[in-house]
Amino acid sequence: MTLRERLQAELAAAIKGGDVRRRDTLRMAWNAVYNAEKAARRPLTEDEVVAALARELKTRRETVEAVQAAGRPDLAAEEEARIAILAEFLPQPLTDAELDDLVAAAIAETGARSRRDLGRVMAVLAPRTRGRADGRTVSERVAQALAALEAAGTAEEAVGGGR
């Protein structure tokens, strides 16, 4: 069963079961997938469905931050519940160790040596982490790793240059 089919089946079950929060959340998710299909003018691939759901999840997380800043814990709790529902349809999030391994592999694969290579590394890494890690977090990890490489390279040059 594809993710799209699973989303439809879960939506139908939520409608029949009378679970209003789940129904509304899955309708939002289904509409996001539907609108992405209309924009693409073709059925979405499995990865594209995951990307559409990941965008919805990101929107919900941003909403949580905004309503918490506004002092509305009731609305934040509602959005957290929606996040939990959407998370059921996405791949398991990457652990810190897994993300670090993927970053190291992408840096090695691209031959990146400095922060200027961030775009090349992200181009390789983004499809591998889509739906499993926040893009901002991935970008920060790559930037940190590249800065460390750059610093190590500068230190080696300083030591090697003194000989």
**Same-domain status, 102 and 127:** yes
- Do 65 and 20 lie in one domain? The reply is yes
Domains of the chain: total: 2
pTM of the model: 0.68
Domain harbouring 24, CATH code: 1.10.1510.10
Count Cβ atoms within 10 A of the Cβ of residue 142 and give its class: 0-12 exposed, 13-18 middle, 19 or more buried: buried
Give the Cα separation of 110 and 117 in Å (integer): 9
48 lies in which domain range?
Answer: 3-87
Q: What is the pLDDT along the chain (163 residues), one digit of tens a residue?
A: 888 999 999 999 999 999 999 999 999 999 999 999 999 999 998 888 988 998 898 899 999 999 999 999 999 999 999 999 998 998 888 889 999 999 999 999 999 888 898 999 999 998 888 778 888 889 999 999 999 888 887 666 666 655 4
Handedness of CA 133, 1, 19, 38 (dihedral sign): positive
